[in-house]
Structure 1
């Protein structure tokens, strides 16, 4: 409390007691900069005005170096809440809940898009959306996303769902409900797919990667699918991804045959431009991959590492090793500093900070001993993990 004596014009002494909370905003923010996070948290409970000021991003931006927040496109949370969730995530403080149970073991795939979580189960792709209390609940409407055989991997992009199938076909659903099937796209199962601006790529167990052009109009949606080219990649395709511009495709194989497990393809020139991972051991195939940007690629697989590749020099510039010598089945990056990776055993998900390579920031055990993590997704508050028998949610926004 600050006491001052103010002399008025009529020479009467007007004594006033000025509270700390009566100081101007800019003065208070200058004081906030001198305090630590614990003191700021205490000030939040003093009065409504201080609570409002300390809820603004301006009060917390100076502490950005203390927290590594998840970068998420749809995130509208205030900075204070992001920091709190980041602190919970790195300390392993979360609420674990069950989203779905499977009657038999399977290899589910998952995507998060526009506030909805999409999960494959056998020959269906099920949609989950936030209900009351922001809990994810299965959509009650009839689910039109069904295939003739089991789903392999799928993507949700540009208001489309594109899925591979065990019978070698490719299924495409548009926002308007139009369903297009590319029959016999491959003679064997279609293991991975991706799409961008009317370009569709698919990889198969037949050791080929195919590129298709989607023909469409503004009224009928997709009117046809034309095969543009086919690339032999040396072995069974397990993963692929398109660059952000859609001009390049990276493809990961089983690497039992061929020169390298990763092939880089130029779709405009319709040719292979390079191969990565020649130093991998035979059988150390690539199970998942993601472009960070046009020049950086993340991969993981049976060699028990996450690798970051600089495509300008075609070299691995950083790697993160699974400390229990387990394969990494899947990875998901926020494009900034955070990488989640799902291991082949113990239902284990590792959170890596790209600036630290010695050990993960945190590890989450969410399954039984033999439970692989086949797919991951996340939003600003939660991590979703698809295991062999269930889908789990870790909510880091809980208060402890």
Structure 2
């Protein structure tokens, strides 16, 4: 029987180290190179040590997860929880915008800037290279009277299509064969709601079978959810004036009650349920995407001060949404009950939300380009606050993966990189604020 720790069998060593805390493991790693390499490369040790800790994975729409060892996950999890990161401003503007972005499979950043859609690829470190765009395009515009712009309000990328909803009341649909190649215009539909008198605020693309594309559109100033069935064509001319003829398109209207408009919506991964956030009501609507039957209704009373600003599916049975009054809620569609209820630490309005489908939820606030990380196991407080940029702007849109958080403000776009050495980076810990 040996009396030396280094002579013990590997399974015995692993069993001993699984009983240590994280700080004790780090101290053992400093003792010698052999133990350091052994502890780093044994996933079971770090999986056991991190059972109760919060791990940030990747957002629901980001379908290409980064493969990390359990040691790397634990190290990066520490950085998320204690505010250890490097911040970098990637894009600056001299005009105020309300951008929308998508970090597609962690390999390309697609972002709206006014009426332009831009794509930037990532480098070897996973950071978007925003000096030169991979491609840019201008959506077709309609000149309107009044103060409305031609900006893109929101867009969705799914099933090799990009659907853009514009504030001029029109919709543009693009075909995408490769995210790194410029999309081709498939169709441009004018006057989507109220004969074009109101903006197109939100769009969603259904997972339907051939030979139709089903697109849902909503306006902040109309209670009608409109479903567009677009017939697929084998060939089409990619010109800015393509408009579907009447025989190529059919429209179904669904009127939602107790609201003054539709602010946001999101389809679940199975493609059979649509969560809808309303203007004039802080209670969302759940719609069966196949039968168009309303499964969950909002509050009976309409309140113009209440708005659901963004809504996302958390998993197959729950969705998360944020409101103008600063509420963050998680709803179970089986019981229609709130299973998580939190508030912004500064009681500010919340503009956007993303979930990793596990325990992490990140929201964008209306003040100081601030993002907040929440743990669905903790109702009483937030986990961490990130001031992404030195601006007073809201965070209009965000996306993330295991190591990066990307946030878009009115005049800039910033990325926070959590894959850093805590010993070399200043800690910006605001987890204690307003607890």
Contact 1:241 1:289 in 2 (8 A): yes
Partner of 2:94: 103
Partner of 1:14: none
Range moving further from structure 2, 308-317 or 355-364: 308-317
Select 1:286's aligned residue among 308, 312, 317: 308
Give me the whole-angstrom Cα distance separating, in 2, the residues matched to 1:351 and 1:260. 21
Give me the whole-angstrom Cα distance separating, in 1, the residues matched to 2:389 and 2:83. 15
Select 1:114's aligned residue among 105, 108, 112: 105
Give me the whole-angstrom Cα distance separating, in 2, the residues matched to 1:34 and 1:356. 25
1:50 deviation in Å?
A: 4.7
Range moving further from structure 2, 235-244 or 218-227: 218-227
1:276 deviation in Å?
A: 2.6
Select 1:376's aligned residue among 398, 405, 420: 398
Compute the TM-score of the two structures, normalised by the length of structure 1: 0.86
After superposition, residues 8-19 of structure 1 pair within 5 angstroms as none
1:305 deviation in Å?
A: 0.3
Range moving further from structure 2, 174-183 or 327-336: 174-183
Partner of 1:356: 378
After superposition, residues 123-134 of structure 1 pair within 5 angstroms as 123-134=115-126
Give me the whole-angstrom Cα distance separating, in 2, the residues matched to 1:75 and 1:296. 24
Contact 1:210 1:227 in 2 (8 A): no
1:290 deviation in Å?
A: 0.8
1:2 deviation in Å?
A: 4.9
Range moving further from structure 2, 153-162 or 46-55: 46-55
1:379 deviation in Å?
A: 0.9
Partner of 1:307: 329
Contact 1:254 1:261 in 2 (8 A): no
Partner of 2:128: 136
Q: The residue matched to 1:293 in structure 2 has which SS?
A: coil
After superposition, residues 71-110 of structure 1 pair within 5 angstroms as 71-72=57-58, 73=63, 74-110=65-101
1:163 deviation in Å?
A: 1.3
| Distance change in 2, residues 1:57/1:216 (3 Å) | farther
Residue 54 (str. 1) matches residue 40 (str. 2): yes
Partner of 1:154: 155
Residue 210 (str. 1) matches residue 203 (str. 2): no
Contact 1:249 1:266 in 2 (8 A): yes
Residue 28 (str. 1) matches residue 28 (str. 2): no
Range moving further from structure 2, 218-227 or 282-291: 218-227
Give me the whole-angstrom Cα distance separating, in 2, the residues matched to 1:100 and 1:369. 14
| Distance change in 2, residues 1:281/1:108 (3 Å) | same
Range moving further from structure 2, 364-373 or 333-342: 364-373
Aligned length: 382
1:141 deviation in Å?
A: 4.0
Larger radius of gyration, structure 1 or 2? Answer: 1
Unaligned residue ranges in structure 2 (runs of 5+) = 142-149, 178-182, 208-212, 423-435
1:268 deviation in Å?
A: 2.3
Contact 1:289 1:299 in 2 (8 A): yes
Q: The residue matched to 2:314 in structure 1 has which SS?
A: strand
Give me the whole-angstrom Cα distance separating, in 2, the residues matched to 1:295 and 1:142. 37
- Greater relative contact order: 1 or 2 (C-alpha under 8 angstroms, separation 6 or more)? 2
| Distance change in 2, residues 1:20/1:221 (3 Å) | farther
Contact 1:21 1:50 in 2 (8 A): no
**CA RMSD after TM alignment:** 2.7
| Distance change in 2, residues 1:22/1:141 (3 Å) | same
Residue 399 (str. 1) matches residue 415 (str. 2): no
Deviations 1:261-298 (A, max 9, x none): 52322232234333134578542111100122343121
Residue 250 (str. 1) matches residue 275 (str. 2): yes
